[in-house]
Structure 1
Amino acid sequence: MTQPILVAQGLTKSYGTTRALDDIILTLFPGESVAIMGPSGSGKTTLMHCLSGILVPDTGSVQLNIGDSDSIDLPTLSEEHRARVRRDHLGFVFQEGLLLPELTAQENAALPLMLSGVSRSTAQHHARQWLSTLGLDGMFERRLGELSGGQVQRVAIARAQVAEPAVVFADEPTGALDSETSKTVLTALLNTTVGQGRSLVLVTHDEDVAARCQRLIHVRDGRLVSDSADTAGVNR
């Protein structure tokens, strides 16, 4: 049986009197793509942030199993240690990219490696490889204002993938794109994660985007109300 890459148990999170997460249980396996859907305010982004260590849940555990090392329980780590885990083992793609406009495409893509202590030349070499894989040859020195929306998102994907993370988290990665560009960006994201045996957790409002993931989860009022892996009778 395949060992899961991530196991969340009993996650709760409240903001004042609002229960954003209510006893969430979720298991993610290597090479799996999971779409999380739900209405605005349902808790889906809070769930993604707790799974990735951006937020600490009020209760519950998030076990991350990386390589041959012991599992890491993200909520028990210090903020500094969680940041290091995110930098070294997780990747992120957001709706607006959240790239640095003063940097070039290759500098943006190389940033995670440089923050981990990799030399500038080596980091930029790996960044150029990823940008080329994503169809951005000849655009290494361009700044964000010189790129289209779809190209910017592919730079964001290169940045997310450059450290070869175990899991990539994507929050509405195609939300600001037209339908054709959305398809191109999503294909690139899937090919560079699931296509390489890594896992993808994707938050989306778009049913067409969700349909391209292997597994669909619905969240409502902070609770996980359906999981297609259950209905499909998945046996790992």
Structure 2
Amino acid sequence: MTAPILHATALQKSYGPTRALAGVDLAVQRGESVAIMGASGSGKTTLLHVLAGIITPDSGAVRFAPSSGEAIEVTALGESARSKLRRERFGFVFQQGLLIPELTAIENVALALMINGMKRSDALPHAAAWLQSLGLAGMEDRRIGELSGGQAQRVAIARSQVTGAELIFADEPTGALDSRTSSEVMDALLWSTTGQGRTLVVVTHDPGVAARCSRTVSMRDGMIVPAEVTA
């Protein structure tokens, strides 16, 4: 059996007296989509942020095994190295997209490549191809405020994929959308990740979104628990 692309062991994280993670173990297999669910304050977003190297745990380890090259102990990296890992190897989609409103759709996507050193003239065609693949052909020069919520999220999905990231993290990617648009965004997200052999980890409060994923992990009080005891 191949090693998981992401393997977390004994993760603990506290904020003052609040224990956000209380000894979490999680293995994510290459090519699967994992939904992390739980009530507000259950620790699901903290877990996502630790897995992605956005924050460090108080103890425990996260190991990332890319398809080529040696495995990386994410939790052993310094802040600069973790930032580089996130830019080059991971992709991110957040509830509000976190797009730059002053830039056009194509510029928002191309920026991910330019930050990694690609020339603008080379980055723009890559960005345009991703926007077209996600149904946004003809909207390349629109600013984010000129797009609907669903269109803006597809721009964010394109930005998360354009660097060739193997592992995509999504935090409530449909949380601000109506049910129809949510379904369309999930179609785009799954097509562009697991549909292309990539791996997706998504935090969601929506059972409909979780049902679209290949596996659901339920959290309560900073721990992973069987789904039937999360209520």
Which range, TM-score by smaller chain?
over 0.9
1:40-79 mapped onto 2 (5 Å cutoff): 40-79=40-79
Question: Secondary structure of 1:150's match?
Answer: helix
* Structure 1 residues not aligned, in runs of 5+: 229-236
Question: Secondary structure of 1:80's match?
Answer: helix
Question: Secondary structure of 1:157's match?
Answer: helix
Aligned partner of 1:91 in structure 2 is 91
Equivalenced residues, count = 228
CA distance in 2, matches of 1:181, 1:75: 36
Aligned partner of 1:80 in structure 2 is 80
For each residue in 1:9-30, what CA deviation from the matched residue of structure 2 results, as whole angstroms up to 9, or x when unmatched? 1100000011000110000111
TM-score w.r.t. length of structure 2: 0.97
Shift of 1:79: 0.6
* Counterpart residue identity of residue 183, structure 1: S
Query: Which consecutive aligned stretches of 4+ in structure 1 deviate over 6 angstroms post-superposition?
Result: none
Aligned partner of 1:100 in structure 2 is 100
TM-score w.r.t. length of structure 1: 0.95
For each residue in 1:170-225, what CA deviation from the matched residue of structure 2 results, as whole angstroms up to 9, or x when unmatched? 00000100110100000000000000000000000000110000000000000011
CA distance in 1, matches of 2:58, 2:168: 23
1:171-186 mapped onto 2 (5 Å cutoff): 171-186=171-186
* Counterpart residue identity of residue 44, structure 1: K
* Counterpart residue identity of residue 145, structure 1: G
Shift of 1:4: 1.0
Shift of 1:128: 0.4
CA distance in 1, matches of 2:90, 2:68: 16
Aligned partner of 1:147 in structure 2 is 147
| Contact 1:44–1:222 (CA under 8 A) maintained in structure 2 | yes
Shift of 1:227: 7.0
Aligned partner of 1:39 in structure 2 is 39
| Contact 1:215–1:227 (CA under 8 A) maintained in structure 2 | no
1:155-170 mapped onto 2 (5 Å cutoff): 155-170=155-170
* Counterpart residue identity of residue 49, structure 2: H
Q: Does 1:225 align with 2:225?
A: yes
Identity of matched residues, % = 59
Question: Secondary structure of 2:97's match?
Answer: coil
Q: Does 1:115 align with 2:111?
A: no
* Counterpart residue identity of residue 86, structure 1: R
Q: Does 1:197 align with 2:190?
A: no
Question: Secondary structure of 1:66's match?
Answer: coil
For each residue in 1:102-137, what CA deviation from the matched residue of structure 2 results, as whole angstroms up to 9, or x when unmatched? 000001011111000011111111110000000000
CA distance in 2, matches of 1:141, 1:226: 47
* Counterpart residue identity of residue 205, structure 2: H
For each residue in 1:2-52, what CA deviation from the matched residue of structure 2 results, as whole angstroms up to 9, or x when unmatched? 221110011000000110001100001111000000000000000000000
Question: Secondary structure of 2:226's match?
Answer: strand
RMSD: 1.1
CA distance in 1, matches of 2:129, 2:30: 23
For each residue in 1:125-164, what CA deviation from the matched residue of structure 2 results, as whole angstroms up to 9, or x when unmatched? 1110000000000000100111001000000000000011
Aligned partner of 2:135 in structure 1 is 135
| Contact 1:170–1:202 (CA under 8 A) maintained in structure 2 | yes
CA distance in 1, matches of 2:110, 2:30: 25
Shift of 1:68: 2.9
| Contact 1:95–1:173 (CA under 8 A) maintained in structure 2 | yes
CA distance in 2, matches of 1:227, 1:208: 15
